[in-house]
């Protein structure tokens, strides 16, 4: 049940302009290619901190 609700919301969030911008500004990193792994990479804060240090 949770996956049925979370997956569409996650997909919608990952397509927002801010997330797309962050992904284009940052260095490509190796993930397993799933939206969930991309989301975890964003919310752990390390990736965003690296981007802020570059700018």
Per-residue pLDDT tens over the stretch 7-48? 889 999 999 998 888 888 877 666 677 888 888 888 888 888
Whether the CB-CB separation of 35 and 10 falls below 8 Å is answered with yes
What are the C-alpha distances in Å from 16 to residues 8, 12, 20?
13, 7, 6
CA distance 35 to 6: 11
Which string of b and e fits 1-24 if b means at least 16 CB within 10 Å? eeeeeeeeebeeeeeeeeeeeebe
User: In which band, very low, low, confident or very high, does the pLDDT at 2 lie, cut at 50, 70 and 90?
Assistant: low
């Amino acid at each position: 049940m949770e996956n049925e609700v979370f997956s569409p919301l996650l997909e919608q969030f990952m397509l927002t302009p801010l997330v797309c911008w962050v992904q284009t500004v940052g260095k490509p990193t190796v993930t397993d290619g799933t939206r969930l792994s991309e989301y975890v990479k964003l919310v752990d804060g390390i990736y965003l901190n690296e981007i802020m240090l570059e700018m």
